[in-house]
A and B are shown apart, each in its own frame.
Chain A
Amino acid sequence: MRAITPLNITPEPLYLNRRAFMRTFGAGLAVAAGAPATLLGAPSEPTDLPTSFKDITHYNNFYEFSSNKQAVARMVSGFETTPWQLEVTGRVAKPALFDVEELITRFQPEERVYRLRCVEGWSMVIPWHGFPLARILEAVQPTPEARYLKFITVHRPRQMPGQKNGWYHWPYVEGLRLDEALNDLAILATGLYAKKLLAQNGAPVRLVVPWKYGFKSIKSIVRIELVKSRPTSLWMRAAPHEYGFYANVNPKVPHPRWSQASERRIGEFRRRRTLMYNGYEEQVAHLYAGMDLKANY
Chain B
Amino acid sequence: MIARARWLVHPLALLPLALLFYDFLIDNLTANPIQEITQRTGKTALILLILTLVVTPVNRHFRLPDLVPLRKRLGLYAFLYATLHLSIFVGLDYFFDWELILLELSEKLYVLVGLTAWLLLLPLAVTSTKGWQRRLGKRWKGLHRLIYVAASAVILHFLWLVKSDIREPLAYGAGVALLLTLRLPPVRRWLPRRTPE
Residues of A within 8 A of B (CB): 17-18, 21, 25, 28, 31-32, 54-55, 58-59, 67, 69-70, 120, 122, 165, 167-168, 235, 238-239, 254, 256-257, 259, 261-262, 264, 266-267, 269-271
Contact = CB atoms under 8 A, between A and B. Distances in A.
A266 to B, nearest CB: 5
Interface stretch (B49-57, B75-83, B101-109): B101-109
Given A55-B31, A271-B93, A261 B100 contact: yes
B160 interface: yes
Given A69-B31, A165-B165, A256-B108, 14 more contacts: A32-B91, A58-B31, A70-B30, A120-B163, A239-B163, A256-B160, A257-B161, A261-B103, A264-B32, A264-B93, A266-B32, A270-B95, A271-B93, A271-B94
Interface in B34-51: 34-35
B27 A259 contact: no
23 contacts: A17-B27, A17-B31, A25-B92, A28-B92, A31-B95, A54-B31, A55-B31, A58-B31, A59-B31, A165-B165, A167-B164, A256-B110, A257-B108, A257-B161, A257-B163, A259-B100, A261-B100, A264-B35, A269-B95, A271-B94, A271-B95, A271-B97, A271-B100
B33 interface: yes
Contacts of A31: 95-96
Nearest to A215: B163
Contacts of A167: 164-165, 167
- List the 3 closest pairs (A to B, CB-CB), nearest first: A59-B31, A55-B31, A18-B27
B28 to A, nearest CB: 9
A264 B34 contact: yes
Nearest to A266: B31
Contacts of A269: 34, 92, 95
A259 B160 CA distance: 14
Contacts of A238: 164
A32 B110 CA distance: 25
A262 B108 contact: no
B35 A28 contact: no
Nearest to A254: B107
B104 A259 contact: yes
Contacts of B95: 28, 31, 269-271
Contacts of B107: 254
Contacts of A54: 31
Nearest to B29: A21
Contacts of A17: 27, 31
B38 to A, nearest CB: 11
B100 A256 contact: no
B159 to A, nearest CB: 11
A254 B108 contact: yes
A262 B109 CA distance: 17
Contacts of B35: 122, 264
Contact of B100 (A55, A122, A262): A262
Interface string B155-197: 0000011011101000000000000000000000000000000
Contacts of A254: 107-108
Contacts of B108: 254, 256-257
Among B32, B97, B107, B165, the one with the most A-chain Cβ atoms within 10 Å of its Cβ is B32
A271 B95 CA distance: 8
A26 to B, nearest CB: 12
A121 B129 CA distance: 41
Contacts of A21: 33
Contacts of A25: 92
Contacts of B93: 264, 271
B189 to A, nearest CB: 40
